[in-house]
Structures are given as C-alpha cells and as structure tokens.
Amino acid sequence: MTASKDFSSRNVLLNSLLILVAAFIIYQLYVFAFSSTSESQPLVQELTTGNSSRSVVQIDVLNGCGAQGVGQKLTAFLRSQGYDVVEMGNYKSFDVKETLVIDRTGNLSVAQNLASLLGIHQKNVIQQISPDYLVTTSVVIGKDFKKLNAWKDSH
C-alpha cells in the first residue's frame, strides 16, 4: 500500500508542476503579445503620419536592370545622404525601363522626397503597402540609372 501511495502522491506532484509550467508559459505568451504590439505601434504611427525624419527611413535597393554594380553605387549614394539602406538585391526581373520608388508604409511624402533626391520623376513613385515589408521604401533601379543623381554627382 505504501508504494502505491507514494506513486499517487508523486503523480499529483508532477501534475501540479505541469499545470504551473503551462500557466507560466501562457502568461509569458500573453505578456509578449501585448508588449511587442504596444512597442512597435509608435514607430508605425510615426512613419505613417508623416512625423518621421530621414534617420528612420529604411530602404531596400533592388536591381531591376541587370547592370552589375548599380545596387552598390546607389546604396553608397543613399547612405552618404543619411538614408539607412538595410537590404540590397535583385528585383524579380531585369526588364524595368525606368527607376521606381515604392512607398511600403503609406507615407508617400517620404517616397516622393527620395525620388526628388535621386532625380526620379514623381510619376515613378508608387505605393505598394503591405505588412510583409519591413522597409519604409524600396528603390527599383531601371535601365535609366545613368540619369539618376547618384551617377550625375560622380562624374
């Protein structure tokens, strides 16, 4: 009888421990979910209300023309102007005729200012807002890249 009594009290103890661990995990998930939402909200609100400065503008530079080295050159130019280029890569195709500036967060004025700096016509500033993008703006380099201010300033 003593062995079964020890076994049953051990089961009660283990079950209690499991319940405590599960409660702790649920509490941690709850805290994480609500603290991460409230911390990221001011940044998103700042970017979408137009109160942002260039220091928080994060850009990805995408090569849409296929020419070698254009991404590095534009990235260096943008960084020299105080922009935070966080990613550089290839666009989905290399047949982009004119360079595009794509607003990703709903703050069109940031994209328009960037286009002006680069010498890109405002008709080539478009919006593709999606929570999947972690950048403020994307620049897709087109076959007209030699007309951009980044190339004009270097010659």
Domains: count for the chain: 2
For residue 66, the 8-state DSSP code is -
With a cut of 90, say whether residue 37 has pLDDT above it.
no
Residue range(s) defining the domain that contains residue 105: 54-152
For residues 9 and 12, what is the distance between their CA atoms, to the nearest angstrom?
5
Tell me, yes or no, whether 60 and 44 share the same domain.
no
Say yes or no: 139 and 68 in one domain. Answer: yes
- What is the model's pTM? 0.64
Please list, in sequence order, all residues whose beta carbon lies within 8 angstroms of the beta carbon of residue 122, skipping any fewer than 6 positions away. 112, 115, 116
Residues 5 and 59 in one domain: no
Claim to verify: residue 26 and residue 59 sit in the same structural domain? no
The count of C-alpha atoms lying within 13 angstroms of the C-alpha of 21, restricted to the half-sphere facing its C-beta, is 6
Let me know whether 137 and 89 are in one domain: yes
Where would I find the beta strands (DSSP E) of the chain?
A: 58-63, 84-90, 100-103, 125-127, 137-141
pLDDT digits (tens, 9 = 90+) for 115-155: 999 999 999 999 999 888 889 999 999 999 999 998 885 54
Phi then psi for 139, rounded to 5 degrees?
A: -115, 120
Tens of pLDDT, residue by residue over 90-122, are 999 999 999 999 999 988 999 999 999 999 999
- Are 119 and 142 within 8 A, CB to CB? no
Give the Cβ contact number of residue 61 at 10 Å: 25
Mean pLDDT of 22-28: 87
CATH number of the domain where residue 95 is located: 3.30.70
* Interval 50-69 mean pLDDT: 78
In which band, very low, low, confident or very high, does the pLDDT at 29 lie, cut at 50, 70 and 90? Answer: confident
Task: Clarify whether residues 15 and 90 are in a common domain.
Answer: no
Q: What is the mean pLDDT of residues 30-49?
A: 51
Domain shared by 105 and 87, yes or no: yes
Kindly state whether residues 61 and 133 are assigned to the same domain.
Answer: yes
Same domain assignment for residues 72 and 21 = no
pLDDT band at residue 54 using 50, 70 and 90 as cut-offs: very low
